[in-house]
Protein backbone atom coordinates (compact mmCIF):
# COMPACT_ATOMS: atom_id res chain seq x y z
CA UNK A 1 0.00 0.00 0.00
CA UNK A 2 1.32 3.41 -0.99
CA UNK A 3 2.19 5.53 2.02
CA UNK A 4 0.55 8.95 2.28
CA UNK A 5 1.92 12.47 2.29
CA UNK A 6 -0.21 14.75 4.44
CA UNK A 7 -0.20 18.50 5.06
CA UNK A 8 -0.84 19.75 8.59
CA UNK A 9 -1.67 23.42 9.16
CA UNK A 10 -1.73 24.73 12.77
CA UNK A 11 -4.11 27.69 13.11
CA UNK A 12 -4.76 29.13 16.56
CA UNK A 13 -7.87 31.16 17.15
CA UNK A 14 -6.02 33.87 19.08
CA UNK A 15 -3.16 36.16 18.12
CA UNK A 16 -1.51 39.12 19.84
CA UNK A 17 -0.49 40.91 16.66
CA UNK A 18 -3.78 40.59 14.76
CA UNK A 19 -6.93 39.33 16.56
CA UNK A 20 -8.50 36.43 14.64
CA UNK A 21 -5.54 36.53 12.24
CA UNK A 22 -6.09 33.18 10.52
CA UNK A 23 -9.52 34.25 9.24
CA UNK A 24 -8.79 37.86 8.26
CA UNK A 25 -9.48 38.54 4.56
CA UNK A 26 -6.46 38.50 2.26
CA UNK A 27 -7.41 39.48 -1.28
CA UNK A 28 -10.99 38.47 -0.58
CA UNK A 29 -10.34 35.12 1.11
CA UNK A 30 -9.58 34.12 4.73
CA UNK A 31 -5.83 33.91 5.36
CA UNK A 32 -5.92 30.18 6.06
CA UNK A 33 -7.75 29.52 2.78
CA UNK A 34 -4.57 30.15 0.79
CA UNK A 35 -2.57 27.46 2.59
CA UNK A 36 -5.43 24.97 2.43
CA UNK A 37 -5.83 25.63 -1.29
CA UNK A 38 -2.09 25.23 -1.97
CA UNK A 39 -2.07 21.88 -0.16
CA UNK A 40 -5.23 20.64 -1.87
CA UNK A 41 -3.81 21.67 -5.25
CA UNK A 42 -0.65 19.62 -4.71
CA UNK A 43 -0.38 16.46 -6.79
CA UNK A 44 1.74 14.65 -4.19
CA UNK A 45 -0.17 15.66 -1.03
CA UNK A 46 -2.88 13.10 -0.23
CA UNK A 47 -4.67 14.77 2.69
CA UNK A 48 -4.87 18.23 4.26
CA UNK A 49 -5.43 18.65 7.99
CA UNK A 50 -6.03 21.81 10.02
CA UNK A 51 -5.36 21.82 13.76
CA UNK A 52 -7.11 24.59 15.73
CA UNK A 53 -8.63 25.50 19.07
CA UNK A 54 -11.19 27.66 17.21
CA UNK A 55 -14.43 26.03 16.11
CA UNK A 56 -14.90 28.80 13.57
CA UNK A 57 -11.57 27.95 11.93
CA UNK A 58 -12.35 24.23 12.04
CA UNK A 59 -15.78 24.73 10.48
CA UNK A 60 -14.39 26.94 7.72
CA UNK A 61 -11.54 24.51 7.01
CA UNK A 62 -13.95 21.60 6.65
CA UNK A 63 -16.15 23.66 4.32
CA UNK A 64 -13.27 24.08 1.85
CA UNK A 65 -12.09 20.47 1.91
CA UNK A 66 -9.67 20.05 4.82
CA UNK A 67 -9.90 17.50 7.61
CA UNK A 68 -9.73 18.89 11.13
CA UNK A 69 -8.27 18.22 14.56
CA UNK A 70 -9.28 19.99 17.76
CA UNK A 71 -6.15 21.50 19.30
CA UNK A 72 -6.12 21.32 23.12
CA UNK A 73 -6.14 24.62 24.98
CA UNK A 74 -2.89 23.82 26.81
CA UNK A 75 -1.00 23.97 23.51
CA UNK A 76 -2.97 26.86 22.00
CA UNK A 77 -1.67 29.88 23.91
CA UNK A 78 0.76 32.58 22.75
CA UNK A 79 3.73 30.56 24.04
CA UNK A 80 2.69 27.34 22.33
CA UNK A 81 5.03 26.12 19.61
CA UNK A 82 4.19 24.85 16.15
CA UNK A 83 6.04 21.66 17.16
CA UNK A 84 3.48 20.99 19.89
CA UNK A 85 0.63 21.36 17.38
CA UNK A 86 2.31 19.22 14.72
CA UNK A 87 3.18 16.48 17.21
CA UNK A 88 -0.33 16.44 18.69
CA UNK A 89 -1.88 16.34 15.22
CA UNK A 90 0.50 13.59 14.09
CA UNK A 91 -0.42 11.39 17.04
CA UNK A 92 -4.14 11.98 16.48
CA UNK A 93 -3.88 11.15 12.78
CA UNK A 94 -1.86 8.01 13.51
CA UNK A 95 -4.73 6.72 15.64
CA UNK A 96 -6.76 6.68 12.43
CA UNK A 97 -4.08 5.90 9.86
CA UNK A 98 -0.49 4.77 10.50
CA UNK A 99 0.28 4.65 6.79
CA UNK A 100 1.95 8.09 6.71
CA UNK A 101 5.26 8.61 4.92
CA UNK A 102 5.76 12.37 5.18
CA UNK A 103 4.20 15.39 6.83
CA UNK A 104 4.26 18.85 5.25
CA UNK A 105 4.11 21.21 8.20
CA UNK A 106 2.63 24.43 6.81
CA UNK A 107 2.25 27.85 8.40
CA UNK A 108 -0.93 29.74 7.53
CA UNK A 109 0.80 33.07 8.12
CA UNK A 110 2.80 32.52 4.91
CA UNK A 111 0.17 32.76 2.15
CA UNK A 112 2.56 33.41 -0.75
CA UNK A 113 3.54 30.22 -2.55
CA UNK A 114 3.71 28.93 -6.08
CA UNK A 115 1.23 26.11 -6.70
CA UNK A 116 4.14 23.77 -7.58
CA UNK A 117 6.36 24.59 -4.60
CA UNK A 118 5.32 21.73 -2.34
CA UNK A 119 5.43 19.08 -5.07
CA UNK A 120 8.89 20.27 -6.12
CA UNK A 121 10.05 20.26 -2.51
CA UNK A 122 8.79 16.71 -1.91
CA UNK A 123 10.62 15.52 -5.02
CA UNK A 124 13.80 17.28 -3.83
CA UNK A 125 13.42 15.71 -0.37
CA UNK A 126 13.25 12.22 -1.84
CA UNK A 127 15.96 12.75 -4.47
CA UNK A 128 18.49 14.10 -1.94
CA UNK A 129 17.67 11.48 0.71
CA UNK A 130 16.89 14.14 3.31
CA UNK A 131 15.61 13.64 6.83
CA UNK A 132 13.99 17.08 7.03
CA UNK A 133 13.59 20.09 4.76
CA UNK A 134 12.70 23.75 5.20
CA UNK A 135 11.49 26.25 2.64
CA UNK A 136 13.70 29.28 2.30
CA UNK A 137 15.06 32.16 0.28
CA UNK A 138 18.57 33.12 -0.76
CA UNK A 139 19.70 36.23 1.09
CA UNK A 140 21.40 38.77 -1.15
CA UNK A 141 24.17 40.57 0.73
CA UNK A 142 22.21 41.32 3.92
CA UNK A 143 24.43 42.56 6.74
CA UNK A 144 23.01 42.19 10.24
CA UNK A 145 23.85 44.23 13.31
CA UNK A 146 22.87 43.83 16.97
CA UNK A 147 23.50 45.62 20.27
CA UNK A 148 25.59 44.19 23.10
CA UNK A 149 24.91 44.56 26.84
CA UNK A 150 26.79 47.87 26.88
CA UNK A 151 24.57 49.37 24.17
CA UNK A 152 27.23 49.20 21.46
CA UNK A 153 26.48 48.02 17.93
CA UNK A 154 28.35 45.03 16.51
CA UNK A 155 28.15 43.27 13.15
CA UNK A 156 26.64 39.79 13.42
CA UNK A 157 27.12 37.95 10.14
CA UNK A 158 30.14 39.75 8.69
CA UNK A 159 33.22 41.71 9.76
CA UNK A 160 32.64 45.38 8.96
CA UNK A 161 36.40 45.96 9.21
CA UNK A 162 36.95 43.44 6.41
CA UNK A 163 33.96 43.92 4.13
CA UNK A 164 33.94 41.35 1.32
CA UNK A 165 32.79 41.86 -2.23
CA UNK A 166 29.42 40.29 -2.99
CA UNK A 167 31.08 37.69 -5.21
CA UNK A 168 33.24 36.53 -2.27
CA UNK A 169 30.40 36.04 0.18
CA UNK A 170 29.24 32.59 1.17
CA UNK A 171 25.66 31.91 0.12
CA UNK A 172 23.15 32.40 2.95
CA UNK A 173 19.58 31.17 3.27
CA UNK A 174 16.55 32.57 5.09
CA UNK A 175 14.16 30.08 6.69
CA UNK A 176 10.93 31.67 5.44
CA UNK A 177 8.47 29.55 7.46
CA UNK A 178 6.23 28.64 4.53
CA UNK A 179 6.51 24.88 5.07
CA UNK A 180 8.67 22.07 6.42
CA UNK A 181 8.92 18.39 5.53
CA UNK A 182 9.52 15.69 8.14
CA UNK A 183 8.44 12.17 9.03
CA UNK A 184 5.94 11.38 11.82
CA UNK A 185 8.59 9.42 13.72
CA UNK A 186 11.19 12.14 13.26
CA UNK A 187 9.28 15.06 14.75
CA UNK A 188 7.91 12.98 17.62
CA UNK A 189 11.29 11.53 18.67
CA UNK A 190 13.24 14.79 18.22
CA UNK A 191 10.53 17.25 19.32
CA UNK A 192 11.84 19.45 16.54
CA UNK A 193 10.76 20.07 12.94
CA UNK A 194 14.39 20.01 11.78
CA UNK A 195 16.82 17.20 12.51
CA UNK A 196 19.13 14.75 10.77
CA UNK A 197 20.12 15.55 7.19
CA UNK A 198 18.54 18.96 6.56
CA UNK A 199 17.86 20.46 3.14
CA UNK A 200 16.46 23.75 1.88
CA UNK A 201 13.93 24.18 -0.89
CA UNK A 202 14.66 27.60 -2.37
CA UNK A 203 11.59 29.68 -3.21
CA UNK A 204 11.20 32.98 -5.05
CA UNK A 205 12.16 36.13 -3.15
CA UNK A 206 8.54 37.29 -2.84
CA UNK A 207 7.72 34.34 -0.56
CA UNK A 208 9.83 35.66 2.32
CA UNK A 209 6.96 37.89 3.47
CA UNK A 210 4.47 36.59 6.03
CA UNK A 211 1.63 38.07 8.03
CA UNK A 212 2.45 38.83 11.65
CA UNK A 213 1.39 42.48 11.95
CA UNK A 214 -1.35 44.55 10.27
CA UNK A 215 1.15 46.31 7.99
CA UNK A 216 2.09 42.93 6.54
CA UNK A 217 -1.42 42.48 5.12
CA UNK A 218 -1.14 45.17 2.45
CA UNK A 219 2.38 44.05 1.54
CA UNK A 220 1.33 40.44 1.01
CA UNK A 221 -1.84 41.41 -0.82
CA UNK A 222 0.14 43.55 -3.26
CA UNK A 223 2.65 40.79 -3.92
CA UNK A 224 -0.08 38.18 -4.41
CA UNK A 225 -1.83 40.38 -6.98
CA UNK A 226 1.28 40.81 -9.08
CA UNK A 227 3.07 37.45 -8.92
CA UNK A 228 2.38 33.82 -9.73
CA UNK A 229 3.53 32.90 -6.21
CA UNK A 230 0.13 32.92 -4.57
pLDDT confidence of residue 183: 97
Query: Is the distance from CB of 49 to CB of 6 less than 8 angstroms?
Result: yes
Could you tell me which residues are beta bridge partners of residue 154?
146
Taken in order 127, 192, 204, 34, is the CA torsion positive or negative?
positive
Could you tell me which residues are beta bridge partners of residue 103?
6, 182
Query: Is the distance from CB of 175 to CB of 136 less than 8 angstroms?
Result: yes
The DSSP secondary-structure symbol of 30 reads E
The DSSP secondary-structure symbol of 78 reads T
pLDDT confidence of residue 25: 94
User: Taking the chain (230 residues) in consecutive chunks of 10 residues, what is each chunk's mean pLDDT?
Assistant: 92 80 94 96 96 95 96 80 93 93 96 92 98 92 84 81 69 91 97 96 92 91 80
Q: Please report, in angstroms and rounded to a whole number, the separation of the first and last CA atoms in the chain.
A: 33
**Strand-by-strand arrangement of the 47-52 sheet:** 67-70, 47-52, 4-10, 100-106, 172-182, 132-139, 198-202
Indicate the domain borders of the chain: 4-136+175-225
pLDDT confidence of residue 230: 61
pLDDT confidence of residue 98: 87
Which CATH architecture describes the domain 4-136+175-225? Alpha-Beta Complex (3.90)
pTM of the model: 0.89
Amino acid sequence: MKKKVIAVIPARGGSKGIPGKNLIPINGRPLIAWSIDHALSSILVDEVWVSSDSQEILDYSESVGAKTIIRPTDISGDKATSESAWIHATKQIQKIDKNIELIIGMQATSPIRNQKDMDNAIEQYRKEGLTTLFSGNILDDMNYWSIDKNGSFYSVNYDYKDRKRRQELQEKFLENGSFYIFTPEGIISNNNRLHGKIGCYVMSKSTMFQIDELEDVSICEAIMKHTDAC
